[in-house]
Structures are given as structure tokens and as C-alpha cells.
Structure 1
Amino acid sequence: MNEALRLRAEIARLEVDLESLRRQLFHLQKECAHEFVETSLARTCSKCLQTESLYY
């Protein structure tokens, strides 16, 4: 039982960390002077890795 509680606590901590990292990535991508590399399906910035689909 204690193992299950420990795992749930670890999951909660990781979810908080993940949200913080997502905010950091969003800010980095928002401020980036993108240099896109295009394929037939997507284009990806070589600096910040923001990807946009070209397939609609």
C-alpha cells in the first residue's frame, strides 16, 4: 500500500515538473527566430524544434 502512495506522489511531482517544462518550452518557441527545415508533411525549427504540420 505504501508503494502505491509513493508512486502516486511521484506521478504528481512529475506532472508539476512537466507543466513547468512545457511553459519553458512555449516561451522559448515564442521568442525564437525560427529557421525551419521542411519536409513534405511538416516543417520543424532547427533551433527550438517547434513543428508545424503542412498536411491539412
Structure 2
Amino acid sequence: MGHESIDNSTEIRRLLEELSALQQKIFHLNEKIQSIQLQCKHVFLETPVMRKCQKCGFAESTYY
């Protein structure tokens, strides 16, 4: 039974490390998206409550 808890501990540590690496990757990918959206010459498709760029996916509410 003690061996099983060691295996679980190792597995949990590995999963936490993988989760941390994925969170860092998500952060950097979000930064890339923001950079692309800031530089985009937007072409918006508008509805009464929002508009969304057809080129980069940037969206904002127009419902105030």
C-alpha cells in the first residue's frame, strides 16, 4: 500500500509540472493573439449587441 502512495505522489507531481507548462504556453499564446489583434485592420461583422472582426476574432460589446 505504501508503494501505491509513492506512485500517486510521483504521478501528481508529474501532472502538476505538465499543468504548469501548459499554463505558461496558454499565457504566451494569449499574448500572441493580443498582439495580432492589436495590429489587425479590423473588418467587423456587427449585430445590435456586439461586433466581431472577421479577420482576427476580436470581439467587443456594443450594448451599453
Identity %: 36
Q: Shift of residue 54 of structure 1?
A: 1.2
State the match for 1:5 in structure 2. Answer: 13
Q: Which amino acid aligns with 1:35?
A: V
Equivalent residue pairs, number: 56
- Normalised by the size of structure 1, how large is the TM-score? 0.92
Asked which structure has the greater RCO (Cα within 8 Å, sep 6+), the reply is 1
Structure with bigger gyration radius: 2
- Normalised by the size of structure 2, how large is the TM-score? 0.82
Query: Which consecutive residues of structure 2, in runs of 5 or more, have no partner in the other structure?
Result: 1-8
Residue 49 of structure 1 is aligned with which of 21, 36, 57?
57
Q: 1:17 aligns to what SS in structure 2? A: helix
Residue 24 of structure 1 is aligned with which of 14, 21, 32?
32
Query: Which consecutive residues of structure 1, in runs of 5 or more, have no partner in the other structure?
Result: none
Q: 1:37 aligns to what SS in structure 2? A: strand
Stretches of 4+ moved more than 4 A in 1?
A: none
Q: 2:16 aligns to what SS in structure 1? A: helix
CA separation in 2, counterparts of 1:17 and 1:27? 15
